[in-house]
Amino acid sequence: MNRSSGKKKIVVLDGYTLNPGDLSWDDLAAFGDLTVYDRTDTRDVISRIAGASVVITNKTPLTEEAIKSNKNLRYIGLIATGHDVVDKQAASAAGVVVANVPSYSTMAVAQMTIALLLEICHRTAHHSSAVFSGQWPLRKDDTFWDYPIIELDQKKIGVIGYGRIGRQTAKIAQALGMKVLAYSRTAADPEIVSLDELYSGADVISLHCPLSDETYQIINRDSIAKMKDGVIIINTARGKLIDEQALAEALNSGKVYAAGLDVVSKEPIEPDNPLLKAKNCFITPHISWVPIEARQRLMDTAVNNLREFLNGNPVNQVNM
């Protein structure tokens, strides 16, 4: 899509996931000659951003080579919170501002976290399918269940990463009667405990920390060994927080009762991912952020980020 207004050149490299057609690009187009690509192969990045002063990206990488190729580039806007797809050092060296969109998906991701947990506890999809396939009338009783139904009241949820999403998840969990154990390198709330205390005490462990050298595969064979037998693990943060082979083994052995995952280490998921054959593993295709309300906030903030940059007051800048 191209919308020309005779102003600066603006290129969106991968706009489809944010806006598959139910939102509008008009506010962004007001700033210049806008070209929106649904997706961009890494081989086409340099040619597509040529001459653009503003480049918007979600997951398409902007490498040092790409940044250096365009002397007109002044601003990279992320339509996401994560910013590891941009070589921020190269951007800074070239005088290019990089801005992200924080906090837009807090409510949506926390809601999805609890949705995964409740699905594990109630198996609503399975039992609904059983009804529609005609199994209910075949049973002798007026009720039946194929899996244990789990009540969450008084159980402990261990929240690793106690930022906005972690706190909102904890708030919803508390409304269900759960007790909160949290781990954070920065927060000092009463519920903060050590990782070992969280591992040994939690009935449910939910990941909400950023991916870093310290958190890479924070869920691994050693950490799983410290957990309660029958623990439930939820991940709506980053796939690489989990050693997937170790989790698959723990699911198959029963050490981990179930896992609810909205993210995996490589997306789209690869056919040989061991979690695809693991017991009691629920995987959704990275959809925790996609409610239209959250995506509209994302769009609005991305537009405002660019507006403030053009006004000489960069906000949500993640480099320099």
DSSP string of 62-103?
B-HHHHHH-TT--EEEESSS--TTB-HHHHHHTT-EEE---S
pLDDT along the chain (320 residues), means of 10: 69 98 98 98 98 98 98 98 95 98 97 98 98 95 96 98 97 98 94 98 98 96 98 98 99 98 98 98 98 98 98 96
Pick the CATH number of 106-283 from 3.30.870.10, 3.40.50.720, 3.40.980.10, 3.20.10.10: 3.40.50.720
Q: Are strands 2-3 and 32-36 parallel, antiparallel or unpaired?
A: antiparallel
Strand stretches in the chain, DSSP E: 2-3, 8-12, 32-36, 54-57, 75-78, 97-99, 156-160, 179-183, 204-207, 231-235, 256-261, 281-283
SS3 state of residue 211: coil
Name the catalytic one among 197, 286, 307, 308.
Answer: 286
Active site residue 267: yes
CA 32 to each of CA 4, 11, 62, 126, 272: distance values in angstroms, whole numbers, following the listed order: 7, 10, 21, 50, 44
For the chain, which residues make up each domain, given as ranges? 2-104+292-310, 106-283
Name the catalytic one among 151, 267, 270, 293.
Answer: 267
Q: What is the pLDDT of residue 7?
A: 75
State the CATH architecture for 2-104+292-310: 3-Layer(aba) Sandwich (3.40)
Active site residue 293: no
* 16 in Cβ contact with 39 (< 8 Å): yes
Q: What is the pLDDT of residue 3?
A: 55
**Close Cβ partners of 19 (under 8 Å, ≥ 6 residues apart):** 25, 36, 295, 299
Q: What is the pLDDT of residue 112?
A: 98
Active site residue 308: no
Beta bridge partners of 232: 204, 258
Q: What is the pLDDT of residue 215?
A: 97
CA distance 12 to 55: 6
Q: Do domains 2-104+292-310 and 106-283 have the same CATH topology?
A: yes
Q: Is 275 exposed, middle or buried (0-12, 13-18, 19+ CB in 10 A)?
A: buried
Select from 115, 104, 111, 106 the least CA-distant residue to 58: 104
Give this prediction's pTM: 0.94
Name the catalytic one among 238, 244, 295, 297.
Answer: 238
Q: Are strands 179-183 and 256-261 parallel, antiparallel or unpaired?
A: unpaired
Select from 68, 62, 34, 42 the least CA-distant residue to 302: 34
